[in-house]
Each structure stands twice: as C-alpha cells, then as structure tokens.
Amino acid sequence: MAATVTGVVFDIRELTVHDGPGIRTTVFLKGCPLRCAWCHNPEGISTAPQILRGASAERLAGQRYTSTGLAMILNRQGPLLRGESGVSFSGGEPLMQAAFVADTIDQLKDLHVTLDTSGYAREEDFRLVAGKCDLVLFDLKLINAEAHRRWTGADNEPILNNLAVLTELGTPFIIRVPLVPGVTDTDENLRAIASCVSALSVRPRVELLPYNAAAGGKYAACGLDWRPPYDENAALNTNLKPFQELKVEASLI
C-alpha cells in the first residue's frame, strides 16, 4: 500500500537551479553509503534525524514522510514547475531509500523528474528508480578502485556497473565530476573518466564542478570537525583536454 512507504528527508528546497533543467524543487534524502572526504552535506550521511546548530540558527534535519505525503507536496507545486522544470531527488544518496523514492515518483503528476545520484546502489534499486526518471545526474568521482576506496570509503565497482545499466535503460543522463584539488582533479583521473565515458554506448555530457573552499561549512552545525585530508587551497586542475581528446563534451559549471 503506497501510504505505508516512508522515507527520511533532510530538506525540500525550492527554486534550486543546479539540480537539473529549469527551476526545480529538490528533495534531499537522508542517508549515504559513501564517506567522501569532501562531503559538503554532512547532515545527509546518517539516516537518523539530527539537529543542525549553526552560528545563528538551528534546524531539525531529517523528517519522515510517507511517499503519498511527499508526492502531495510536490504535486501541489506542479502548476509552477511546468515544461523543463520539475522535481529532483538528491541527498545523501536517494537510492538508499529507493522504494520510497520510486513510490513517490509513481504518484507524481506530469512532473519532470531528475535523480541526482552517486551511482552507489544495488543494481535492482538503481534500475527501479532510474527507469522512472526523465534525467539522471550521475556522479563519477574516481576511476581508480583503490583511490575510490581511500577517498569515499567504498568500492566503485557498483557505480561503474550502474553506469552501464544506465546506458541500457535509455534514461538521458549527465555525468558530474566534483573537482577536489589533488584528489579527483588529477590529469590521470580526468583521463580515466573521459575514457570511461567515451567507452559507453551513448555519449553523455560531462559537467565538472569546481571545488569551493566553503564545502565544510555545515560540519560545525552537525557537531563535527572539518579537517579535510587534502589541501583545500591548492590550485584546481580544470584541464578539459582529456575530454576533448576523446570527443567527450565537457564543461565547468
């Protein structure tokens, strides 16, 4: 029964302009299987609700919704999210709550749906949700398996597998690469990503997201220390050549 499917959401933000085409309402789902060293949404890591205490305000991050309740909230905004605009599911990792997300999407009326995912999920979960979406924003962080384990705490094998699944699903997608100085922005990694993308049976666009030194802004609010194990202030390598050489469309956003 649809109403019994529930999930934990840490924010629903309106007028987001970087989570898909047009203007969007983005649902941030709580909980993530990865532990990226540069994670900028630390409140999205744990599945449990928590109170964020900022310098001058506090807010409860993490509220349980039924899929029906969430879909109702999103559908109510439908009249203002026409055409290319729509809703996005981000996180955390939305696929950690795949059944909830899928059930919510099933109840949306004529809304363009974007999934913003790390790709780290069970294949069946990935198929379930990505198959229902109009667009997937798929993160590729590190191609080297060892480096991936070191910097995100998890294997990238499920990610690469799901990337292949995505090409087969036929859902349009964009590859997103967070550029972290000295970690993901190395020529070697960029070449590996370019080559990985160029080997796909379809040719998606690649968007590179330059690192911003304010990434650790919310750690204090979560009661955590922000001690990035890399030099935040190092110059960022934004070399697009590896992509151009392999005729992969790539841009900095």
Partner 1 sequence: MKTPVIEAPATRTVCFTDLSPRLAQMKRRIRAGEHHQSRVSETIDVQGECDKDHLSWPQRAARLTRRMCEAQTVIIQPDERIVFTRTVRKVPALYFEAQLRTLIADHTLHELGPISNICANWGMVLSQGLVTRKETALATRQRLGSDPEAVEFLNCAIETIDAVLALARRYAEAARQMGRDDIAGVLERVPAQPAETFHEALQALRLCHAVLWLSGHYHCGFGRFDQYMWPYLKADLDAGRLDFAAAEELLAEFFISLHKDSDLYPGIQQGDNGQSLMLGGVRRDGRPGVNPLTAMVLRVSRKVVLIDPKINLRVDRHTDQQLLELATELTRIGLGFPQYANDEIVIPSLVAAGYDVEDARDYSVAACWEFIIPGQGMEVINIGAVSFPAATDAAIRAGLAAGDSFERIMKRVGDNLQSQVNALAEANRKLMLPPAPYYSVLMNGCLERGRDVSLGLKYNNFGIHGAASANAADALAAVRTFVFDEKRVAPERLLCALETNFANDESLRKELHELAPKVGNHDDYADVLLVKLFDMFADACDAAGGNGRGGRYRAGSGSAMYHVWLARGHAGMREPVVGATADGRKAGEFFSSSLAPSPDVTVRGPLSVLQSFAKIHYRRISNGGPLTMELSESLFRGHDVIHKLTLFIRAFVDSGCQQLQLNTLNVNTLRAAQRHPELHRNLVVRVWGWSAYFCELDENFQNQILGRHVHGE
- Residues of this chain that interact with partner 1 (CB under 8 A) are 12-18, 22-23, 25, 40-41, 52, 54-59, 76-77, 79-85, 176, 178, 209-218, 220-221, 251, 253
d(CA 17, CA 23): 5
Going by C-beta distance under 8 Å and a sequence separation of 6 or more, which residues neighbour residue 80? none
127 vs 176, beta carbon nearer partner 1: 176
CB of 214 to partner 1, least distance (A): 4
159 vs 177, beta carbon nearer partner 1: 177
CB of 146 to partner 1, least distance (A): 26
Give the relative orientation of helices 98-106 and 123-130 as an angle to the nearest 10 degrees.
20
C-alpha angle 160-166-168 in degrees, rounded to nearest 5? 115
Length of the chain: 253
95 vs 215, beta carbon nearer partner 1: 215
CB of 252 to partner 1, least distance (A): 9
53 vs 122, beta carbon nearer partner 1: 53
In the block, which residue shows the tokens 């205490």? Answer: 53
In the block, which residue shows the tokens 């993530």? Answer: 32
46 vs 212, beta carbon nearer partner 1: 212
CB of 151 to partner 1, least distance (A): 17
Peptide bond into 44 cis (omega under 30): no
CB of 28 to partner 1, least distance (A): 9
Going by C-beta distance under 8 Å and a sequence separation of 6 or more, which residues neighbour residue 253? 18, 207, 208, 209
> Among 140, 153, 152, 142, which Cα is nearest to 207's?
140
d(CA 142, CA 129): 23
